[in-house]
Amino acid sequence: MMQELSMNVLDVAQNSVRAGATLIEITVDEQPARDEITIVIADNGCGMTPEQVQSVTDPFFTTRTTRKVGLGVPFFKLAAEITGGSFDIQSQVGKGTAVTAKFVRSSIDRMPLGDMNETIISLIACNETLDFLYTRRFGADELVLDTREFRAQLGDVPLTEPKVAKFIREFLQENTAELLAGHENE
């Protein structure tokens, strides 16, 4: 079992990587007034048939051949439902997949969000040819990281170049701190 929601996000996003996506959109939307956290992981990968969508929440279904269980999606679903929230997968073959998990923010059973920035950094570091659009929202404020915009600025300098990787880390950390500043008591 995962200890943090950010770990679930890292895990579920791997499914998008394997689905051959070129763009993965990750949104973490925290709305204290509605007592809600919504996490969406959407991709433009190969998508799934309605039958596959039915079966991915079954831990004994996996497309992998290395072992017979697939726990990533079931863990994430459980993490949402245990708080009184909800879980949904929309998918279309050839178009992509969107996984949405809604959490009751104040639930005692809600896992901490954890370090989302580290999850995004790991995804970018390991998938240098893929693009990521990360949105972190808190109330009415948001921070957006779009690797396509980063690439446009960088020309042929890759995102994995150490100085760029350091910039991405600082960009996320500083802008997240700014986003959350003043909301400590909410």
Partner 1 sequence: MKTIAELQALRDEMKGKVGVRREGEYRTKILVGMATCGIAAGARPVLAECVKEIETRKLKDVYVGQTGCIGICQFEPVVEIYDEDGTKTTYVHMTADKVPKVIAQHVVNGSPVVEYTIGANAN
Q: What order do you get walking across the sheet with 131-138 strand by strand?
A: 86-92, 96-104, 36-43, 23-31, 131-138, 141-146
Contacts to partner 1 from residues 109-168, by CB under 8 A: 118-119, 121-122, 125-127, 149-150, 153-158, 161-167
Q: Which one, of 86, 87, 47, lies nearest residue 63 by Cα?
A: 47
58 near partner 1, rule: CB under 8 A: no
DSSP characters over 84-149: T-EEEEEEETTTEEEEEEEEETT-TTPPP---HHHHHHHHHHH-TTSEEEEEEEETTEEEEEEHHH
CB of 50 to partner 1, least distance (A): 24
Nearest-approach distance from CB 149 to partner 1, in angstroms: 6
* Nearest approach, Cβ of residue 34 and partner 1 (Å): 27
Size of the site for partner 1 (CB under 8 A): 41
Q: How far is the CB of 122 from partner 1 (least distance, A)?
A: 5
Structure tokens at 73: 């999606």
Q: Is 186 in the site for partner 1 (CB under 8 A)?
A: no
Q: Let me know if 30 is exposed, middle or buried by CB neighbors in 10 A (0-12, 13-18, 19+).
A: buried
Q: Which x/- pattern, by CB under 8 A, does the window 70-109 give for partner 1?
A: xxx--x----------------------------------
**Residue 178 in the binding site for partner 1 (CB under 8 A):** yes
Residue numbers at the binding site for partner 1 (CB under 8 A): 1-2, 7, 10-11, 14, 18, 64, 66-67, 70-72, 75, 118-119, 121-122, 125-127, 149-150, 153-158, 161-167, 170-171, 174-175, 178
